[in-house]
């Protein structure tokens, strides 16, 4: 196997001359060597609905990944990345999921904002913000949705007015993941008075630790609070911290959403596969696998997961050649509905015990930095409750179907009030 200095961020993985199997072995070996000691109890911790679990140790884990050169793999080397190929990035995400490594706390910066700045940002913006993302020293939140503009993102009303050398921001964002632990947010604002829909929007980079910004956690069905309301009352950011030209924020925002549905989705599917495997084991253990209905649902879930994987691989190939079309919307529909149904399957397999809260009086439970006033749930109860939102966040089912109908099939646009 070709030697690789994992601690050297300057290594260009695009020049890797070993096989894909060798690269997978290198990733697997590093994970085996490092998911030990203080990080051993982080396996399968965190993620949607469980972001409260071991937050501090998971942040330390992310910084170890960064120091070892395993963050920002697909970024160009000149921006602190590793110039990894799509194949290498897929391998990394798959091996990461197979190892049960913890959910990342730096996903928004690394997978969303970083690629967006590389594509649309100025050289000054790249020099200022990309290093903090690669080292996981600065965490980011996404300021898109609003109370009156969730799935209908073009209807946002948060305003930003240029006043000398600063933008002055007023409005409210909602469902802002992990804003209470982030230092910065990228915020889509309306910067042209009288504009409507997609026109007159700008993509601003805004510090959250300042007067005029209030972050208020939202307690979810799971009892945890990883989403937030964020209020801007004459908050400010520098005039030069607009990504792209003022008024062209929609273009930047849509570019970011394409990055969101990139290679990490295949790693996500490995995680889905592990969840399904655990449910099958549970069904065998408690005898529910004897039910023809349960067996049929498990078989359907297994088959649909493979369809999802085939679609994701085809989508990545198409995106790489610049012709994605509505593939990202199809992907969102596939995984969101599948994962919601998996939560329902987990409850059906458990049966009546799924309705009983587990006893959490034993020692050694994860530190909960969110300190919610909650009844603790087991992983399957949490999966069931949180996946109710899978078909809503990141673009609801209805919005995805409209995109496919209007932009791919050429059907008439839906009537708007």
Copy the structure tokens of residue 224: 């945890």
Angle between helices 264-286 and 327-350 (to 10 degrees): 20
Q: Are strands 242-243 and 140-143 parallel, antiparallel or unpaired?
A: unpaired
Helix (H) or strand (E) holding 259: helix 249-260
The region, left, alpha or beta by phi > 0 then psi within -120 to 50, assigned to residue 102 is: beta
Q: Up-side HSE of residue 309: CA atoms within 13 Å toward CB?
A: 16
* Angstrom distance (rounded) from CA 408 to CA 329: 10
Asked if 263 and 92 touch (Cβ cutoff 8 Å), the reply is no
**Is 78 a catalytic site residue?**
no
Asked if 156 and 201 touch (Cβ cutoff 8 Å), the reply is yes
* Angstrom distance (rounded) from CA 92 to CA 81: 14
Find the catalytic residue in 53, 260, 275, 376: 260
* Angstrom distance (rounded) from CA 30 to CA 51: 24
Q: What are the counts of helices (DSSP H) followed by strands (DSSP E) for the chain?
A: 12, 8
Asked if 356 and 406 touch (Cβ cutoff 8 Å), the reply is no
Which whole-number Å values give the CA distances from 91 to 5, 43, 118, 270, 320, in the listed order? 18, 19, 23, 11, 17
Instruction: Report the SS3 class of residue 199.
Output: coil
Q: 102: how many CB neighbours lie within 10 A of its CB? A: 23
Q: Which residues are catalytic?
A: 260
């Amino acid at each position: 196997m070709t030697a690789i200095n994992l601690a050297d961020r300057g290594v260009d993985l695009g020049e890797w001359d070993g096989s894909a199997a060798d690269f997978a072995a290198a990733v697997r070996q590093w994970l085996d060597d490092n998911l030990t000691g203080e990080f051993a109890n982080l396996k399968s911790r965190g993620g949607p609905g469980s972001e409260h679990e071991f937050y501090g140790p998971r942040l330390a884990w992310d910084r170890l990944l960064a120091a070892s050169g395993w963050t920002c793999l697909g970024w160009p080397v000149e921006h602190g990345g590793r110039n990894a190929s799509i194949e290498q990035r897929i391998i990394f995400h798959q091996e990461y999921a197979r190892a049960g490594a913890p959910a990342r706390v730096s996903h928004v910066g690394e997978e969303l904002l970083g690629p967006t700045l590389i594509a649309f940002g100025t050289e000054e913006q790249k020099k200022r913000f990309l290093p903090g993302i690669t080292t996981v020293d600065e965490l980011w939140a996404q300021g898109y949705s609003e109370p009156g503009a969730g799935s209908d993102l073009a209807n946002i009303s948060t305003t930003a007015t240029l006043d000398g050398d600063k933008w002055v921001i007023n409005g409210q964002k909602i469902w802002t993941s992990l804003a209470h632990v982030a230092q910065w947010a990228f915020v889509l604002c309306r910067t042209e008075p009288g504009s409507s829909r997609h026109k007159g929007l700008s993509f601003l980079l805004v510090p959250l630790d300042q007067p005029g910004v209030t972050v208020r956690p939202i307690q979810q069905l799971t009892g945890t609070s990883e989403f937030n309301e964020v209020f801007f009352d004459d908050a400010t950011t520098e005039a030069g911290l607009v990504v792209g030209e003022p008024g062209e924020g929609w273009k930047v925002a849509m570019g970011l959403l394409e990055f969101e549905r990139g290679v990490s989705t295949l790693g996500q599917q490995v995680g889905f596969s592990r969840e399904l495997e655990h449910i099958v084991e549970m069904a065998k253990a408690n005898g529910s696998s004897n039910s023809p209905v349960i067996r049929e649902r498990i078989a359907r879930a297994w088959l649909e997961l493979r369809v999802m994987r085939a679609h994701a691989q085809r989508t990545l190939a198409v995106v790489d050649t610049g012709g994605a079309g509505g593939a990202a919307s199809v992907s969102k529909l596939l995984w969101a509905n599948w994962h919601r149904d998996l939560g329902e399957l987990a409850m059906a397999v458990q049966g009546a015990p799924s309705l009983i809260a587990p006893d959490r009086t034993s020692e050694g439970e994860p530190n909960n930095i969110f300190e919610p006033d909650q009844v603790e749930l087991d992983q399957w109860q949490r999966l069931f409750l949180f996946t109710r939102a899978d078909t809503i966040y990141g673009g609801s089912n209805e919005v995805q179907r409209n995109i496919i109908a209007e932009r791919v099939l050429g059907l008439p646009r839906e009537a708007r009030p």
